[in-house]
Structure 1
Amino acid sequence: MIVQTALDQMVKAQLLRRQSTAEDTNLGAGYVFKHALTQEAAYRSLPHRQRSVVHRRVAECYEQLFAERLDEHAAMLAYHFAEAGDQTRALSYSLRAGDHAMAVYAVAEALLYFDRALALVVAGCPAIEEQLLHLFGRRGRALELESRFEDADDNYALMERFAVDRSQARLELAAVLAQTKLRSFVNQLFDPVEGRKLAERALALAETLGDRRSQAEIYWDLMNQARFNVGQQEEAIAAGEHALEIARAIGWQEQVAAILNDIADVFADSGRFDEGNAALEEARTLWRDLGNQPMLADNLSNTGVWRIMQGDFQGAIVCFDEAHEISTRIKNVWGQGYSRSVRGIAYWQLGRYDQTIEDFTIGSALSDEAGFLIGQVLPRIQLAFVYLELGCPHLGLEVMQRLSHSIATPVPQFTPSLSVVLAAFQEINGLAAAAGFRGSPDDVDPMQGFWVFNFASLSWIVRLLHTGRLEEAVAMCIRHIDVMQGHNIVAFQTDARLFASRALVQLGQLTEAREQLSTARALAEGVGQRRILWQVLPLLADLTPDTSAAEALRAEAAAIMADVRDQLPTEELRAGFLALPDVRRIGLL
């Protein structure tokens, strides 16, 4: 009664406001301060010891009132228990608050709670091994999702120090394994040499502990270390299949999906497309069932890339759009950069240059933000080729120069590709190749991966054509075609056939040139590859003896060229395109 009288007096004095809602009816009336300054003054007037008592009572009241919804109120509980001096419960609720935020993809918010939990532990709050595994593991994963890989590495190094100081073998294994993983995937810390050393340490610890889950992860990491090194596909497949065998045996579905997601790419680079497709499909089903949205988006983008290689450009766009929608919804910049970058490839093949340029530009910028190396490199290489195709090689050179100055990639796959593409654009623009470039066509290896091989090979072909080494250009085109044809990759055959025909015409081998153009046309028409058709048709018309048939080919080319001209986003690109010899001969204005 005394309390109620005091509350009524404070309401009359306009210090408090009575508040009662339908939700509060079972709890009695509620009161709030009318002004924050009044509340702060009242709070500060309490002795420190009494404040702690108030915070504890508030926290315990929350625990009772919301016993079925503690995760929703974990952040508030963590705050009040921390202010009450109950560090143990503050730690527990900070971890729960971080988990709750991660569950709704609020990664930045989750990091705030995990950071508070870490501060408690560093300050001496007692924590059992399970809590430390949870804290460092979840905090590290959140940092990785934010593309803060160096901070994640620092987190795992601190985790290892805690483990060694406390002689906790499971914690040490988790720390070494996490550091291994950072050096096994494409990011700024990729280092297969150091990664293998860490993997060997982790494997020894895992075998001592009989930890099969960790063994599956370690072999997965070894697969990825080999996967991103040139010529190690067989080693990668062996490690991946061993990882998959362990994960299936222990029923770890999430790890099965992760391994399948990655081994599919290794199968592709080895020409084992049926096995790769099956792996992607199984992984995609698992990701949907598990509700793992970031990995579902990654899988969809991977699937779209495969569809491009098989000539299904519209099907690829469907995959990329779903991946981008998911990544945008969960605020995953990495996924946004990946899906946008690769969607540009599909639009390029369809002759949609406006969308192509936009996707490559935005996708690579998002990849910069996310620290996604593949998304930083490959879209820019492809954008340079788009500019070359449209008669603006100087713009392609600018792209490659900026890329070579800004990307210090640690991935061996990319080094020869970047060097030869830059050299090609330098020479096309009348410049000497970069000092120190000592490349050779023999350096171009399909085992680098088909995407890297494609642009490295085409760059050498462009260089050979530009310098008049026509026989070598034809030979390299034939090799390129054989590699792609041998693996049924339609989209990457047509460029080489187009370049081969140009060299063959200059060599006077017109019949052979016409055969290459006819095949390129048939392939391009079969998959809707309009960017190839507008280049092939005028050349084929020149080699067609029947006048009416030749004119029909030119008319078809003119229609596609007009569409290209109308969609180009700048006057500079339109001028470059209209100045191309084949476009001028068609008479397009």
Structure 2
Amino acid sequence: MVRGILADVEPQKVQSTLVGRLGELDRLLAVLRAAAEGTAGVALVGGDAGIGKTRLVTELAERARAEGFAVLVGQCAELGDALPYLPLADALRDVRGELRAALDARPVLGRLLPGGTDAGPESASALTQQQLFGSVLGFLSAQPVLLILEDLHWADQSTRDLVVFLSRMLQGERVCLVGTYRTDDIHRRHPLRRVLAELKRLPSVTSVELSPLDRGEMADYVALLGGTDARMIDEVVDRAEGNPFYAEELLEAATEGCAMTDGLASLLLSRSELLSESAQRVLRGAAVAGRKADHDLLREASGLDELAFEEAMREIVSRGLIRPSGEYGYAFRHALLQEAVYTDLLPGERTRLHAEFARLLTARNASAAELAHHYLAAHDLAGALAASVEAGRRAERLGAPAEAHRHFERALGLWERVADAERLTGTDHTRLALRTAAAAADMGDNHRAVAHVRALPPSAEACERLAYYLYDAGQETEALEIAQAAVEAAPEGPLLGRALATFARTVFWTERHAEAEPLAGRALEVARAAGARDAEKSALIMLASCAEFDGDRDRAEELFAQVAAEESGDLAMDLRGLFHYTRIQFERGAMAEAAATADRGIRLAAETGLSWSTYGTDLRFLRFLIHYTAGEWEQARAAGFGRRVGTIPEAILSSFALFVEVAMGVPEVDERLAWLRPFWRDSLVAYMSRGLAAEHALWRGEPERALDHVTAVLGVLEPSDTGSIRIAAIGLWALAELGRADGADRLLDRARSAARTGMGREGTAWLLRAEAEWHRVHGRLDAGAWRAVAEAFDYGFVYEVARSRWRLAEALLAAGDRAAALEEWEQAVKTAESLGARPLGDSLAALGRRARFGPVRRSEPEPAGPDRTAALTGREREVLALVADGLPNREIGERLFIAPKTVSVHVSNILGKLGVASRTQAVAAARRAGLL
């Protein structure tokens, strides 16, 4: 039975039916439906050329539009590895409606569009790439989106990196990303091969491989194409071997009276040979232009007048070889057609046509990458050199370091073969080599960056950069020697400031550590005198790091404050400074100040598209911890750290959510821990997620399991790591529950040995808890010890104060001070209820039953009077009504078409305006006031 068509065919030949692909379509629709419900997904569709990948995703796109998705389609081309983000730029061309506003709000994406400016900071491609990736993620979150990227086997490295980034970062967004690729093009060393292997291991990725159609499906398909003669249909089916595109070409050839040759390329060429001479000339020119070609460009390259050209194009289009595409262009109906015609060109003919396109494109101020391609193919080395350097510069500004490196490295290879290279490129060989090295470092290849700089004659600037890259490549000893040579060779001015800062960086963790502070101090003086803001901030951060290392946290905070005081224009340095300033404020216990600094950094990262950069992410982590510490758990949970993880950085991100989830005892904990378990070999993941798994086990009455987690975590942490203090305290808690003292002294010694001067208030409080738990292991409920713990955490750590009061109430009861115990217990119960800390609340309830405390004596929230309710905005009243219905933030956001984080902000405002501490109290107060 005919069920549909697969091949990429002309719409007038076969309408919208599909043959033999319902199973594959159902798998894609499952990903789309999950995205509609708030679980983003990725699908990779592979198959041989002509097997019908485009037809399948076109059907998916039609279904997606019917479901209210915005559909964006971008296509890679043979020049894709030279043109950064080509499919993304293609997909963004026709953005409309709500997505258009989201696009216009992100200038870095506008640079990809026709007419968009590529003006940006020089040599900042790594940071610009982070901006672009973050901007794409934010843009896609604006509404339900199906993004289709076709022919990924031709994609540039930056596009491949973007696909990997989106596949990992998309979690709760209503986004479905689909990529297609040719399996017959993915040879063993193809750059997409490794990416596909990596992506297919991710839980969010669905792989769909298209196999040839069976004989019955092929017969149905050929009949739909118009085949009526049974003998001809059988012959086409036999020769096509399940490939729909090949079947269509065979049928066309038979209809036109051509011989049905065995090879597809021969078949395609035999059809093109039926064209007139002028039409064949145009077709050859179109093949050199690529998969798509502009009308005017193609006409000029053909050498025909307007009427002759139009007649030739009409003949080509009528035979289905090329079709109109866009408003002023044409595209080959299938890439295989273009490849066959291009491969058949004679060498001289190919060179001449490329030279002609280079000339015409130069007059049109076309893409430098495209020009470089045509100049190289035309053997015009001077033109290729100039175009390659310009293409590298543009790739830098677009945030495509891999493509920038490729173009610059090609230019270096041409340099000695071109006369007057400096005049043609506007740079010298040294500057070009340093720029090539910077692009290599930006794309994460410090070893290649080192190789580029080593090839240069020694100079102060080359030595400073070489030392910097060597240090990042893990070659610290050689980096130190070369950094010292850079300082000795550098003249007074910005270069000396940078060289001194790099030298201080290389000695910081060596036996010459004592030299770091004076070097950084001198770097600061020189940088300020020279007005080198980047070197000045780098020197300030080094000085602050030295002060913190030496235990002088006040001095460190003062220096970090100077770094964060004003924006320098160097976004990476600004975000780094704001992160460290937030961190040291947080560790001092200054919650409000830390929150303000973190919010400033997060705002800067969001405005510049750097929310997912290293320090943008770290600032959001830190803000989560501030919310958690301050008891603002609704806001903390609104951060939405995904549970599905595939890499260590994602596991670190996901682990943060456990702080609140374990404390609240939510069902999601077990699912998150299951995802994180494979990454427990990483010390930071183990410290957070496995340490919290130990707490989770203790709340569930499984102290033996908790102790296993503690032992494992301490095994991967360095003995000097202050995180050991908290883990040791949890281990002592487990021993106390087991009634075992063996190992208690060892755990307490581990906590004490990890303590150091200036470790911050939280570290000090956890050390006191370890001491108090040690007494509990030995059967002593020391009220003084637990009071000290509660007071140590009382710098703003709401939850830990409540947990400490729980133990303090136990100790006071054991000491016979029932009144004081009741007071501590009531305060702990009130906090546990307001936070939604169910495990702690259950433990407090059990203690209350044992002590026969009875109901908690606490005042009811003050009813919301007219003056309070009047302060609520219309949107806040809408949110409150949905809160009353019991909806979580995500569902409220979907109902009101706003982000969950925005809902969280509204809920916080409602609680503040009504003067209550929880959502339940807000609903009760609103009902009494007649709001609901």
TM normalised by structure 2 equals 0.45
Distance, in Å, in 1 between the alignment partners of 2:401 and 2:646 is: 15
Residue 786 (structure 2) aligns with:
477
Structure richer in helix, relative to its length: 1
The alignment status of 1:348 with 2:658, answered yes or no, reads no
- Please show how residues 432-447 of structure 1 align to structure 2 within 5 Å: 432-433=742-743, 438-439=749-750, 444=755, 447=758
Quote the offset at 1:216 in angstroms.
Answer: 0.7
The alignment status of 1:116 with 2:437, answered yes or no, reads no
- Please show how residues 181-580 of structure 1 align to structure 2 within 5 Å: 193-194=509-510, 210=530, 211-223=532-544, 229=549, 231-245=551-565, 247-248=566-567, 255-295=573-613, 296-318=616-638, 320-321=639-640, 324=641, 336-352=650-666, 354-359=667-672, 362=675, 374-405=684-715, 407=716, 412-418=721-727, 432-433=742-743, 438-439=749-750, 444=755, 447-449=758-760, 452=763, 457-471=768-782, 474-485=783-794, 487-544=795-852, 549=855
Which shows bigger deviation, 458-467 or 4-13? 4-13
Inter-CA distance 367–332: structure 2 relative to 1 (3 Å threshold)? same
Inter-CA distance 87–364: structure 2 relative to 1 (3 Å threshold)? farther
Distance, in Å, in 2 between the alignment partners of 1:504 and 1:182 is: 57
Residue 207 (structure 2) aligns with:
none
- What's the CA shift string for 1:145-183, capped at 9, x where partnerless? xxxxxx54x4665576467x34152x5545656777899
- What's the CA shift string for 1:122-157, capped at 9, x where partnerless? 7585865555555444543443xxxxxxx54x4665
Contact 1:301 1:338 in 2 (8 A): no
Q: Alignment partner of 2:612: what SS?
A: helix
Quote the offset at 1:191 in angstroms.
Answer: 9.5
- What's the CA shift string for 1:176-196, capped at 9, x where partnerless? 567778999xxxx99952496
Inter-CA distance 502–334: structure 2 relative to 1 (3 Å threshold)? same
Q: Alignment partner of 1:258: what SS?
A: helix
Contact 2:587 2:762 in 1 (8 A): no
Distance, in Å, in 1 between the alignment partners of 2:690 and 2:448 is: 33
Inter-CA distance 192–454: structure 2 relative to 1 (3 Å threshold)? farther
Distance, in Å, in 1 between the alignment partners of 2:573 and 2:763 is: 28
Inter-CA distance 160–364: structure 2 relative to 1 (3 Å threshold)? farther
Distance, in Å, in 1 between the alignment partners of 2:801 and 2:506 is: 32
Inter-CA distance 302–333: structure 2 relative to 1 (3 Å threshold)? farther
Quote the offset at 1:315 in angstroms.
Answer: 1.6
TM normalised by structure 1 equals 0.67
Distance, in Å, in 1 between the alignment partners of 2:540 and 2:471 is: 11
Inter-CA distance 60–281: structure 2 relative to 1 (3 Å threshold)? farther
Inter-CA distance 99–341: structure 2 relative to 1 (3 Å threshold)? farther
Q: Alignment partner of 1:21: what SS?
A: strand
Contact 1:177 1:198 in 2 (8 A): no
- Please show how residues 27-42 of structure 1 align to structure 2 within 5 Å: 34-35=336-337, 38-39=340-341, 41-42=343-344
Could you tell me which runs of 5 or more consecutive residues in structure 2 were left unpaired when the two chains were aligned.
1-274, 285-311, 417-427, 477-504, 859-932
Distance, in Å, in 2 between the alignment partners of 1:53 and 1:205 is: 56
Residue 117 (structure 2) aligns with:
none
Contact 1:311 1:490 in 2 (8 A): yes
Contact 1:301 1:342 in 2 (8 A): yes
Distance, in Å, in 1 between the alignment partners of 2:537 and 2:354 is: 46
Quote the offset at 1:450 in angstroms.
Answer: 5.1
Residue 563 (structure 1) aligns with:
none
Distance, in Å, in 2 between the alignment partners of 1:477 and 1:159 is: 60
Inter-CA distance 498–5: structure 2 relative to 1 (3 Å threshold)? closer
Percent identical pairs in the alignment equals 12
Contact 1:417 1:456 in 2 (8 A): yes
- What's the CA shift string for 1:400-433, capped at 9, x where partnerless? 344344x455984335555665676578666953
Q: How many residues align?
A: 501
Inter-CA distance 335–460: structure 2 relative to 1 (3 Å threshold)? same
Match of 1:46 among 347, 366, 369: 347
Contact 1:337 1:364 in 2 (8 A): no
Distance, in Å, in 2 between the alignment partners of 1:24 and 1:42 is: 29
Contact 2:588 2:761 in 1 (8 A): no
Quote the offset at 1:439 in angstroms.
Answer: 3.3
Distance, in Å, in 1 between the alignment partners of 2:821 and 2:552 is: 37
Could you tell me which runs of 5 or more consecutive residues in structure 1 were left unpaired when the two chains were aligned.
103-109, 144-150, 553-589
Distance, in Å, in 2 between the alignment partners of 1:416 and 1:439 is: 7
Q: Alignment partner of 2:689: what SS?
A: helix
Quote the offset at 1:539 in angstroms.
Answer: 0.8
Quote the offset at 1:380 in angstroms.
Answer: 2.1
Match of 2:387 among 79, 89, 108: 89
Contact 2:392 2:404 in 1 (8 A): yes
User: Alpha carbon RMSD of aligned pairs, Å?
Assistant: 4.9
Residue 202 (structure 2) aligns with:
none
Q: What is the letter of the counterpart of residue 234 of structure 1?
A: D
Residue 140 (structure 1) aligns with:
441
